[in-house]
């Protein structure tokens, strides 16, 4: 193991090199294999502060359980506990928490919040989700793809739906590890242009092909079909309009006919069945949705262990 990530932040998929991503994923594999034995406690006496401006089932439970399994302790901080930028500045909160805890995880709306936390904190900061990226989710996704496909390099993945934070991190991550990624969206809902451009530039050096399309036919031959809700938290007022615009951008029997016969199905959850994915397709043997959800636990344990220098 050569990567030294001690004291580093994980705010973006671009914070890790290809080699570092693969090393963290190997640690996640080992931690998953060993977790029921519960012998090693690398984060014993370590504390994680979990800042939640957005609620979440998977993020809270996976981080809190993961910290417990590693021998440490997690503290949940609700929006009413920390009024970031209101009662106290983000800088002061970062500096105070750095005196109390060993790692800070933040699940926020604006990406600038987690960037500011990372700028001012003197302990590692992990992006549990922002409106621009969701890197912890992508590490779990990659772990799941490796479990089903034995590799990332050369895998052809298609993300179908809104060009959101998950799409951004998938593009950055795929470009880093040599995985081909096509994001298929309705016109006007593509990922941010600067993300597409930067991911394509990175992919030029790794052999990764990054594409954006409005045509479902570009899912032809895909090894991975991935989707997410059409309207994310905070976009509830757009849900009805999006439901009409996104109607054909979904994973269903038609999408599965386009993909490779052994294509795996991913969804970062929560799912709105019969919208972005139909229930029957989500329960096919090809589906790795709940493996993917479990791997949030193991991938995040690996991230925390590496950032704490306890691998």
In the set 8, 18, 58, 107, the catalytic residue is: 107
Residue 293's Cβ-side half-sphere holds a number of Cα atoms within 13 Å equal to 13
For 13, phi then psi, to 5°, come to -60, -25
Catalytic residue among 18, 111, 250, 296: 296
Active site residue 107: yes
Characterize the bridge pairing of strands 180-184 and 210-213: parallel
What sign has the CA pseudo-torsion 297, 34, 303, 81? positive
Query: Rounded to whole angstroms, how far apart are CA atoms 159 and 250?
Result: 10
User: ∠ CA(168), CA(7), CA(93), 5° rounding?
Assistant: 80
**For residue 291, how many C-alpha atoms fall within 13 Å in the half-sphere facing its CB?**
18
Unique residue bearing structure tokens 């996640």? 28
Q: How many helices (H) and strands (E) does the chain have?
A: 11, 9
Of 143, 268, 298, 300, the active-site residue reads 268
Q: Is residue 137 annotated as part of the catalytic site, yes or no?
A: yes
Q: What is the largest distance, in Å, between two alpha-carbon atoms of the chain? A: 54
Question: Strands (DSSP E) along 61-209, which ranges?
Answer: 73-77, 103-107, 125-129, 156-160, 180-184
Catalytic residue selected from 15, 116, 162, 228:
228
Alpha-carbon span 230 to 32, nearest angstrom: 31
Q: Which one from 8, 18, 111, 137 is the annotated catalytic residue?
A: 137
Q: How many other β-carbons are positioned within 10 Å of the β-carbon of residue 271?
A: 17
Tell me the torsion sign for CA atoms 21, 55, 107, 7: negative
- Torsion-angle region of residue 257: left (phi > 0), alpha (psi -120 to 50) or beta? alpha
- The HSE-up count of residue 40 (CA atoms within 13 Å, CB side) is 11
Out of 58, 134, 242, 250, the active site residue is 134
Which residue, among 29, 30, 42, 38, has the nearest Cα to 304 in the 3D structure?
42
- Catalytic annotation, residues: 107, 134, 137, 228, 268, 296
């Amino acid at each position: 193991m050569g990567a030294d990530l001690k004291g580093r932040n994980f705010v973006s998929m671009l914070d890790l090199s290809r080699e570092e991503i693969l090393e963290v994923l190997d640690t996640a594999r080992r931690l998953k294999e060993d977790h029921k034995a519960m012998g090693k406690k690398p984060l014993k006496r370590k504390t994680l502060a979990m800042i939640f401006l957005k609620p979440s089932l998977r993020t809270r439970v996976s981080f809190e359980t993961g910290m417990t399994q590693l021998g440490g302790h997690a503290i949940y901080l609700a929006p009413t506990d920390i009024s970031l930028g209101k009662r106290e500045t983000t800088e002061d909160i970062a500096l105070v928490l750095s005196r109390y805890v060993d790692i800070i995880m933040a699940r926020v709306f604006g990406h600038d919040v987690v960037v500011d936390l990372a700028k001012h904190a003197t302990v590692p900061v992990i992006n549990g989700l922002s409106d621009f990226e969701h890197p912890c989710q992508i590490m779990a996704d990659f772990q799941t793809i490796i479990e089903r496909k034995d590799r990332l390099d050369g895998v052809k993945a298609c993300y179908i739906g809104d060009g959101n934070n998950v799409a951004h991190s998938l593009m950055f991550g795929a470009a880093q590890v040599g995985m081909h990624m096509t994001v298929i969206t309705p016109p006007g809902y593509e990922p941010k242009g600067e993300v597409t451009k930067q991911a394509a530039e990175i992919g030029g050096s790794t052999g990764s092909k990054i594409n954006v399309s409005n045509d479902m036919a570009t899912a032809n031959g895909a090894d991975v079909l991935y989707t997410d809700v059409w309207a994310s938290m905070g976009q509830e007022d757009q849900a009805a309009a999006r439901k009409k615009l996104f109607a054909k951008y979904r994973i269903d029997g038609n999408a599965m006919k386009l993909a490779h016969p052994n294509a795996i199905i991913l969804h970062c959850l929560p799912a709105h069945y019969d919208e972005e994915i139909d229930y029957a397709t989500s329960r096919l043997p090809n589906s790795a949705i709940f493996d993917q959800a479990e791997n949030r636990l193991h991938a995040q344990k690996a991230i925390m262990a590496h950032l704490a220098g306890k691998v």
